[in-house]
Amino acid sequence: MAIEIEQPCVGLSKVAVSETHGEDSPYFAGWKAYDENPYDETTNPSGVIQMGLAENQVSFDLLEKYLEEHSEASSWGKGSVSGFRENALFQDYHGLLSFRKAMASFMEQVRGGRAKFDPNRVVLTAGATAANELLTFILADPGDALLVPTPYYPGFDRDLRWRTGVKIVPIHCDSSNNFQITTPALEAAYSEAESMNIKVRGVLITNPSNPLGATVQRSVLEDILDFVTRKNIHLVSDEIYSGSVFSSSEFISVAEILEARQYKNSERVHIVYSLSKDLGLPGFRVGTIYSYNDKVVTTARRMSSFTLISSQTQHLLASMLSDKCFTENYIKINRERLRKRYDMIIEGLRSAGIDCLKGNAGLFCWMNLSPFLEKPTREGELALWNSMVHEVKLNISPGSSCHCSEPGWFRVCFANMSEQTLEVALKRIHNFMVKKRSE
């Protein structure tokens, strides 16, 4: 066959070979140390305790009890498989109506009924990871930017930027006001983007915040909404931790603010949610985009073809989340247990002479070790972190991996282990601090 050989072999795309997936950062190096020497109460009591994983393991018993009492949720019909084929065939990107209704109602309950959600605005995606990327594809073009307050979830570097080609420009927040977002900081970030000739398409906040473990205050939300309206850009509010607020009244969702404003200018606002944190089901890949913009809803729905939720899982959760008795009880007890864990870790750290940011939500606390750094620099922070991982044998997340502008802060998770393990971790920290003070 006379086919000439014309050019050298082609390789992979730039996206494929880039490092924007971020997996070579220190954030992941700590995980490696854990994987190589994982703590186990009985078999490896001196191993590395995983405190870098924001998982919620405190309320599984409630879910297990529900499943035991409602086998039809996992088996397509009481004692039979009659609903199986319909479910197996269901790949409509609108998602199961019963599930969307259940999701909307659950989101309302989590907000204490202070905001209403329309099931027809709920778009389903395989996790919040997919939801955030999808929204970025819809709201911004390659080369454009989203403004994100620091410190932020390290995964955003991948989720918002990798395949989309969109940039993140940080909104710098610091401890002088408990890391709250201010209008000057928003303006500064916007100007910074402008000076680099980058078009800003929106602001993305996480409320409650990861890694701060604190809700965003009403006045701050109002300021952010005013800012995005002034600049004619979008606001994405990732409320993935909304059900993990220790006290219901302290969480204010952007949805409430919009309702109070009678939905004026709301078509620029989009909420991301997921069941990975509140229900502790990251494996089931259940995320959602709730948008007040019809075109975004339609487009997101179409794009969700690339990331649909298994209909088997939609069926299970439609059943569970429609059970208002179950959900009300779950939300209440989950909250209480998280608060108890939070109190435990705060007290344990305080007695070791360590302060944390005052938090009221999430699966972690934002710990301040800046007084104990050899040097008040990123290197100083990483050196201390190295000791934490390899000497104290706790995998915690250094603030630099969250793009924090002040060195010395660390995110420490408390809901992904037993109480006993948390005690062990606190004891290790206590001993480490005693040793450090004597040096």
Partner 1 sequence: MRLLSRKATCNSHGQDSSYFLGWQEYEKNPFDEITNPKGIIQMGLAENQLSFDLLESWLTKNPDAAGFKSEGESIFRQLALFQDYHGFPAFKNAFVEFMSEIRGNKVSFDPSHLVLTAGATSANETLMFCLAEPGEAFLLPTPYYPGFDRDLKWRTGVEIVPIQCTSSNAFQITEAALLDAYQEAQNRNLRVKGVLVTNPSNPLGTTMTRNELNLLVSFIEAKGIHLISDEIYSGTVFSSPDFVSVMEILKARNYENTDVWNRVHLVNSLSKDLGLPGFRVGAIYSNDDMVVSAATKMSSFGLVSSQTQYLLSAMLSDKKFTKKYIFENQKRLRQRHRMLVSGLEKAGIKCLNSNAGLFCWVDMRHLLKSNTFEAEMELWKNIVYDVKLNISPGSSCHCTEPGWFRVCFANMSEETLELAMQRLKAFVTEYSSTVLGQNMSSSHQSIKNSRRRSITKWVFRLSFDDGRDREPDQR
Any contact of residue 248 with partner 1 (CB under 8 A)?
Answer: no
Distance between CA 84 and CA 76 in Å, rounded? 6
Q: How many CA atoms lie within 13 A of 302 on its CB side?
A: 7
| Active-site residue (options: 277, 289, 292, 396) | 277
Any contact of residue 232 with partner 1 (CB under 8 A)?
Answer: yes
x-or-dash pattern for partner 1, window 145-164, by CB under 8 A? -------------xx--xx-
Q: In the structure encoding, which two tokens stand for residue 180, read together? A: 């709250």
Q: Give the interface segment with partner 1, choosing from 207-215, 239-247, 311-319, 417-425 (CB under 8 A).
A: 311-319
Interface residue with partner 1, options 54, 58, 122, 140 (CB under 8 A): 140
x-or-dash pattern for partner 1, window 46-65, by CB under 8 A? ---------x-x--x--xx-
If the CB atoms of residues 111 and 277 are measured against partner 1, the closer one turns out to be 277
Q: Give the interface segment with partner 1, choosing from 101-109, 188-196, 303-311, 335-343 (CB under 8 A).
A: 303-311
Nearest residue to 254 (alpha-carbon basis) of 244, 245, 268: 268
Any contact of residue 413 with partner 1 (CB under 8 A)?
Answer: no
Interface residue with partner 1, options 13, 43, 176, 197 (CB under 8 A): 13
Query: Least separation, in Å, of the C-beta of 200 and partner 1?
Result: 10
Any contact of residue 260 with partner 1 (CB under 8 A)?
Answer: no
Any contact of residue 338 with partner 1 (CB under 8 A)?
Answer: no
x-or-dash pattern for partner 1, window 172-201, by CB under 8 A? ---------------------------x-x
Query: Least separation, in Å, of the C-beta of 7 and partner 1?
Result: 6
Catalytic site residue 240?
Answer: yes
| Active-site residue (options: 224, 233, 240, 271) | 240
Q: Please provide residue 382's backbone torsions phi and psi, each rounded to the nearest 5 degrees.
A: -65, -35
Any contact of residue 10 with partner 1 (CB under 8 A)?
Answer: yes
Q: Interior CA angle at 308 toward 305 and 313, to 5°?
A: 160
Nearest residue to 423 (alpha-carbon basis) of 372, 358, 347: 347
Q: In the structure encoding, which two tokens stand for residue 220, read together? A: 């701050």
Distance between CA 436 and CA 386 in Å, rounded? 14
Any contact of residue 42 with partner 1 (CB under 8 A)?
Answer: no
For 74, residues 6+ apart whose C-beta sits below 8 A from its C-beta are: 67, 316
Q: Is the dihedral of CA 243, 340, 48, 157 positive or negative?
A: positive
Residue with token string 């909304």: 242
Catalytic site residue 61?
Answer: no
| Active-site residue (options: 144, 159, 238, 278) | 238
Interface residue with partner 1, options 35, 41, 88, 177 (CB under 8 A): 88
For 327, residues 6+ apart whose C-beta sits below 8 A from its C-beta are: 105, 106, 109, 320, 321
Interface residue with partner 1, options 296, 320, 425, 426 (CB under 8 A): 296
x-or-dash pattern for partner 1, window 66-85, by CB under 8 A? -x---x--xxx---xx--xx
Interface residue with partner 1, options 51, 139, 245, 367 (CB under 8 A): 139
Query: Least separation, in Å, of the C-beta of 100 and partner 1?
Result: 15
* Omega prior to 119 cis, within 30 of 0: no
Distance between CA 420 and CA 286 in Å, rounded? 30
Catalytic site residue 355?
Answer: no
| Active-site residue (options: 39, 153, 290, 292) | 153
Nearest residue to 50 (alpha-carbon basis) of 404, 433, 398, 389: 389
Any contact of residue 206 with partner 1 (CB under 8 A)?
Answer: no
Kindly report the number of other CB atoms within 10 A of residue 253's CB atom.
24
Interface residue with partner 1, options 26, 34, 54, 129 (CB under 8 A): 129
Q: Count Cβ atoms within 10 A of the Cβ of residue 61 and give its class: 0-12 exposed, 13-18 middle, 19 or more buried.
A: exposed
If the CB atoms of residues 133 and 381 are measured against partner 1, the closer one turns out to be 133
Kind of pairing, strands 145-149 and 122-125? unpaired
The catalytic residues are 153, 238, 240, 277
